[in-house]
Each structure stands twice: as C-alpha cells, then as structure tokens.
Amino acid sequence: MANTTKIARCAWASGSKTTPLMMTYHDLEWGHPLKDNDSLLFELLTLEIFQAGLSWEIVLKKRHHLKKAFWSFDLESVAKMGDDDVYRLCQNADIIRNKQKILATIHNAKVIQQIQTSYGSFSNYIWHFTENQVIDHNIQIPAEVPSKDALSEYISKAMKKIGFRFTGPVVIYAYLQSIGIINDHESNCTFKYHN
C-alpha cells in the first residue's frame, strides 16, 4: 500500500510560485538545529548577509558560486583574502557583487576566528545565547513570524560589539531561524521537527 501522507510546508515554501530549490532548502536545512560545524554556520550567516535587500531564492541560486568564491567558507582561507581577492570577486558575475558585503564576509571570518579562541567554536558562541536550547514560537499562521525580536536585537548588539558587520537584528533573526535556534516552522508543517 502506498504512503498517502500529505506533506505540508510553511507558507513561504509552498504554493504555486515556490520553486523546487526553495522547497528543498525548507525541507532539508531551514530550522534544523545546526551545531558543531563552524564552516556551515559561517556560510549561512554569510548567505543571510548577502540576502539583505534581495530575495532568498536569488541567494540560493547563487549559493554554489558563493561557496566556490569563498573557498567553501573555510574560515582560515577567507580570513586571508586580500584586496586582489576582493577585486576578483567584484568582477565575478556568478555571485552577488556587493563590495561591502564581500568585505564584511572577510572581516567576519576574522572575528569568528577570534571567537573560536575564546569560546572553542563559533557554534558554542552562537548557541550560548539560548543555553543550547531551541526556541519554538509555535507559529500558527505566517503573519505571526516577526522580522526581528528581543533575542535577535540582543545578539545583534553583542555581535556588533565584538566587530561583526552587516549583522543587524533582522539579519540575525533570519540567521537564527536558518540554523534552528529559532523554530518558526508553522505548526502544521511536516518539517517542524525535521521529519
């Protein structure tokens, strides 16, 4: 007998205009608690920064090229990038060519390296804000999802204080969602608990 379980997704990842790329990201990555992988945590922070002012789908379409351009988000390699690399990336039509965001990515890699020295890992740092707990907002309808909250404002302020760039509270809220610190999957979403 065939499995007839209907798959339900969050509103932003369903509907006639949703692409397979968006659905796959929603189903396999978004909101999954991500720990102990500083490279991927850095990648997702960078993607959120590059997304500011653009659609998430554009960033996902460029993700492979961004990953290639930033050495698979290897922190040591990115932290060593210099003016020649910035110039090269600003000429690369395959990525989002925003010089300030490129510079912020390189700078943020250096800040994360400092955090690794102090906290053991970037994962330890970012998860310490919630004492390693996931915050589940029990979203019933899409309108309940805020663009920022007190936690993202607090973390944004803390991150800026130690030198991070392009980490305002809206970017940080989206980042916390993406790495699973905040679970904003809608209550009826099949993937709320990553099934």
Q: One digit per residue, pLDDT tens: the chain, 195 residues?
A: 455 678 999 999 998 889 999 999 999 999 999 999 999 999 999 999 999 999 999 999 999 999 999 999 999 999 999 999 999 999 999 999 999 999 999 999 999 999 999 999 999 999 999 999 999 999 999 999 999 999 999 999 999 999 999 999 999 999 999 999 999 999 999 999 975
Exposed / middle / buried, residue 182 (Cβ in 10 Å: 0-12, 13-18, 19+): buried
The pTM of this model reads: 0.95
Report the sign of the C-alpha dihedral through residues 16, 20, 25, 31, in that order. positive
Q: Is-catalytic flag, 30?
A: no
In contact, 40 and 34? CB cutoff 8 Å? yes
Q: What six digits make up the tokens of 112?
A: 């994360």
Whether residue 125 lies in the annotated active site? no
Nearest Cα to 48, choosing from 125, 156, 132? 156
- CA 169 from centre of chain: 13
Output the known binding site for Zn(2+): 10, 26, 185, 189
Can you give the residue ranges of every domain in the chain?
33-183
Catalytic residue among 12, 29, 43, 56: 56
User: Structure tokens of 68?
Assistant: 């290639």
User: What are the backbone dihedrals phi and psi of residue 35, each rounded to the nearest 5 degrees, phi first?
Assistant: -135, 160
Q: Does the 33-183 domain belong in CATH 1.10.340.30?
A: yes
